[in-house]
Amino acid sequence: MKFSIKTQMMDTFKTDGVLVGAFQGEASRDDLKTMDKALGGHLTRAIRARHFEFKPGQTLAIDSLGRFPAGKIVIVGLGKRTELSADKVRKASAAGTSVMKNSGVKKFGTTLASESANGLTVGELAQASAEGAYLSSYTFDSYKSKKDDKRISEITHLTDKKSNVSAIDKGARKGKILAESACFARDLINMPGNMATPTFLANQAKQIASRYGIKCSVLGPKAIEKLGMGGLCGVARGSHEPARFIILEWMKGPKTKKPIVLVGKGLTFDTGGISIKPSGDMHEMKSDMSGGAAVLGAMRAAAALKLKANLVGLVPSTENMPGGSATKPGDVLTGLSGVTMEVLNTDAEGRLILADALAYAGRYKPDCVVDMATLTGACMVALGHRASGLFGNDEKLIDQIRKAGERTGERCWPMPLWEEYDEDIKSDIADVKNIGPRWGGAITAAAFLKKHVKGKWAHVDIAGTAYTNSENGYLKKGGVGLGVRLMIDFVEHRTGVYK
């Protein structure tokens, strides 16, 4: 999908379609009046009949029948101007783009970034618009004989002010890169487990490193064992697929600045191991590497955007299988941190491999560490599919991630992590056990991770938000690619490189 920009009014722009944003109470705006007149009062009649009420994301599709330069006109509601947000623009763009795509439109113009509103600049509006359009157009048909032939080839941002051109162009370019990187993560998540193995994930990391100038190292089983990563080795023991520990470094910030380390759970398929899962919907466990996919996508985006920041991405990757050599309930593993871990449930494996990655992150003496993982069903029980759980040991860091979630539409909600929860994971025979009591499972999982951390740290539990079985706005069925845009926004604001 190509994005371009023109200083031209929509009533003179000849194209397949035009997407127009409209606020509540502004039906008499000049551009809408011009359009309504050309269409013989169609918009006025739709408003009177309450077919279109300017609600956020609501669309009104009109065939101009040659009365307007654009063949298909789609008006999308933005709600009240004083309540506009980047995510409302993102969703409006997604809704309008979906209508265009389903109508067979290949090229269209949009006015969603033509003027600033409610504190949002035209650049921010263009970024949100591009993200919504690109993310909503995503299709995963790699394994289908018949491909989706409905594609949007080009979207042109229209503005009547030359002074807006540079900001809109920059915003649209950034939005495209972020959306492309999120869709890259979606592809990894949606791939079947027999294709997206730890080795495949490592090769994908090498490819993006080569393309974007990122330093990449991949450790195999012998190196992982030599380091003393007992958690990762223990989980990998039951699988014929060799484990991989992926290290990506983008050190383009000031040399005096400590790096931010992103850690992502890369469990490419999770059967539960000896503590095997029920068979229903087990196929979705190919998505258990969503955190790792998000880290790879975020590193790709950071490099493509040429962020002047120091960033490290770590992805411990393996399968969790019930093989003859698999770790058994009751076994004790020793992590890289030196902490001994009693494995009472082999399906609580994510925290075991993350423990080693978090300990490894300490070698960078980082500014902070943020991990993302599809870690607990308990987090889904607590927050559903609308928000990710957010834990940590530094209030400022937690608040920065929460605010990034609000800006990107990838919301996170802070959860408690008081010292009392440490009592719930004390083991009788080791330092810690890998599960706590039935209640508060998302919190005790975070408490387990905390044992392997040095310095400022936050944990984002994306178990309920990383994968969806229904389409909603710019979210498509399957992998969401959540965490890519969230982490880039967080890094930009944390390091001060956001502009």
**Which one-letter amino acid corresponds to residue 2?**
K
Query: Helix (H) and strand (E) counts for the chain?
Result: 14, 20
d(CA 96, CA 94) in angstroms, rounded, equals 6
6 is catalytic: no
Residues 142, 189: contact at Cβ < 8 Å? no
Q: Three-state SS string across 345-367, please?
A: CCCCCHHHHHHHHHHHHHHHCCC
Q: CA 476 to CA 311: how far, in whole Å? A: 29
Residues contacting 66, CB < 8 A, separation 6+: none
In whole angstroms, give the CA distance from residue 56 to residue 21. Answer: 10
d(CA 426, CA 376): 19
Q: Which residue has the tokens 């023991």?
A: 237
Measured between alpha carbons, how far is 127 from 125 in angstroms, rounded to an integer? Answer: 5
* Catalytic residue check, 402: no
Catalytic one of 351, 407, 433, 450:
351
Q: Which residue has the tokens 């009649």?
A: 45
Tell me how far apart the alpha carbons of residues 149 and 146 are, in angstroms, rounded to a whole number: 9
Q: Which of 227, 172, 165, 220 is nearest to 198 (CA)?
A: 220
Report the DSSP beta bridge partners of residue 106. none
Burial class (CB in 10 A: 0-12, 13-18, 19+), 2: exposed
Q: From the CA atom positions of the chain, what is the Rg in Å?
A: 24
Contacts of 403 (CB under 8 A, 6+ apart): 493
CA contacts within 13 A on the Cβ side of 469? 4
Q: Give the active site residue among 252, 277, 328, 477.
A: 277
Contact indicator for 243, 215 with CB cutoff of 8 Å: no
Which residues fall within 8 angstroms of residue 470, CB to CB, at 6 or more apart? 477
Catalytic residue IDs: 277, 351
